[in-house]
Amino acid sequence: MNSTLTGAVAIYLTQVRAELSDLPPGELEDVLQDVTDHLTEVAGEFDAEPTLSDLQVRLGTPRQYADELRTAAGYPARTEPVSQDYLTSGWNALRWGLIAGTVGPFFVAVSIFAWSSDETAFFGLLGLGVLFVAAFLGVRALNGNDPRIVLDTPRGAQWATAVRGWIDQVPPNVRHELVTIGQPVWWVARGMIGAAGFFALFGAISVTVVGAIAGAAVSIWIGRRTQQDRRWLWYVVPLNVVAAVAVPAFLAAAYVGASFGFLDNYNHYRGSGPNYEPPTKGVVVNGTAVSNIYPFDAQGKQVTVRLYDQDGNPISMELQDCATNYGQESRDTTSNLFPQAVVVPDENGYSSPEDCKETTKAPFVPPPAPATRTAPTPVAPSATPTSGATLTVKPTR
Amino acid sequence: MDTSQLLKGVLDLAVLAVLRDADGYGYDVLRRLRAAGLEDVADASVYGTLRRLFQAGALTSYVQPSEEGPHRKYYGLNKTGHDLLARSTKTWNHFADTMSVLLEEEAA
């Protein structure tokens, strides 16, 4: 008797319960036990688990079902407090819902197409903030009434009729396919992209993939919850509008490999995020990696030198000559002999293994030798810098 | 004329009739009504009718485990139920006869 219902049957039962909620509690529980038993039997008539629309074809809508039950059981007709208060609540809830569904998504859309990461974060948070606050106020405006009261307001009824008109233009079989196939696909897509976008927004790239999977799961759960508790619509519909903007934007950008707005910012984060490592090997001068050293003597003539640090360790760099670039045999690939030979590209800017040229000539015009100062310590000329550059060697950082 | 409209008036009688010989649970009552030819009967109305007859004291109710599925709530006629069935049958027969005569006169 206490069988636990799942899926569409559970949703149908919840909706019947809502229709009968005005019955005295004891009577309500008894009659719902009957309904539970009945739905269990009806579910058994189907080969597979029935969908909500299967149940509606078989039993009528939950409201029709509840009305039949009510009439046959001799319960009093449903009492609906059609008062001014009630209409005001419905209209307020509807209005907040509209703000949540338009203003919030608008700012989020601005954020997606914004040009800087600061704007993306600002408009993204503003949009989501407006969305959630308006949705919260909308649910609060319901004043504990059933969310369906918005359909009893004149404007709400008018819009509902218009929407139903559009839906009716879709052939029933297409509608059925859209709901049974399209809905789960949509739930997964909006969850993955929503979560991935959220994590990317805050630069947490490493958890984006896990976040996307978790987002899909949360999205499915929210979808199921919303079918049972319609108050979630105040949050879910605006978020769906956001997703309807974001999903195509992401897919289009992924397809054409575009880098604009949000995606550009995303790449920017990727470059300077936690994955970015400053160079820890080689020679660094004022934070910039040095790839070659061209020594000149006091007369401005280029010379060849071997460099050592204060402990006598060679200051070596990776070789960049032809043998390193194209050679087959393994060899010692670092040297402290400067200048190192580098590959000379041909006139088209290319170089090839067959015809590789290299040079040790400085790729710049040597600056004029500085005026020879009256050296205070002529005994140790090597300790006197002969050029203006400050060389710092940082083997690690 | 829509059978479902007629059914509303006589569903009590139909439900009592199918429970006369053997007790049954809700879905079983529904199946017996359909098998007897009342295909238009609405599921929820049958459950509602059982509920009302039970509250009116015409039915007994007990839960019985079933081999293949969940426990089921069976309904059966008690003394009041049998009396109600007998009275309702008389009323129905009288009404049906009257209608038949009326319709024959109209046709003649």
Rounded Cα distance, A341 and A338, in Å: 8
Angle at CA A35, nearest 5°, toward A32 and A39?
140
Q: Let me know: does A284 contact A290? Beta carbons within 8 Å.
A: yes
- Whether A125 and A251 map to the same domain: the answer is yes
User: What are the pLDDT digits (tens) for B3-45?
Assistant: 777 887 799 999 999 999 899 999 999 999 999 999 888 999 9
A306 and A186 housed in the same domain: no
For A37, the closest of B8, B48, B72 (CB atoms) is B72
- Give the model confidence (pLDDT) of A62-112 as tens digits: 999 999 999 899 888 876 555 677 778 888 888 899 898 899 889 888 887
Question: Chain A: residue nearest B70 by CA?
Answer: A1
Question: In which band, very low, low, confident or very high, does the pLDDT at A272 lie, cut at 50, 70 and 90?
Answer: very low
Q: Which distant-in-sequence residues (6+ apart) come within 8 Å of A341 by Cβ? A: A319, A320, A321, A322, A358, A359, A360
B92 to chain A, any CB pair closer than 8 A? The answer is no
- Whole-number pLDDT of residue A207: 73
This model of the complex carries an ipTM of: 0.88
Total domains, chain A: 3
Residues 6 or more apart whose Cβ sits within 8 Å of residue A46: A54
| Domain hosting residue A61, numbered range | 7-73
A375 pLDDT above the threshold of 60: no
Let me know whether A306 and A219 are in one domain: no
Q: What is the pLDDT of residues B67-107, one digit of tens each?
A: 776 778 899 999 999 999 999 999 999 999 999 999 987 66
- Mean of all residue pLDDT scores within chain A: 78
Last-in-domain residue among A213, A240, A272: A272
Whether residues A57 and A152 share a domain: the answer is: no
Asked if residue A50 and residue A185 are part of one domain, the reply reads no
CATH for B33: 1.10.10.10
A211 vs A34, residue with greater confidence:
A34
Nearest chain B residue to A63 by CA distance is B44
Q: What was the pLDDT predicted at A209?
A: 78
Torsion-angle region of A7 (φ positive above 0: left; ψ -120 to 50: alpha; else: beta): left
How many domains, chain B? 1
- Inspect the interface and report whether the beta carbons of A69 and B52 lie closer than 8 Å: no
Residue A353 lies in a domain: no
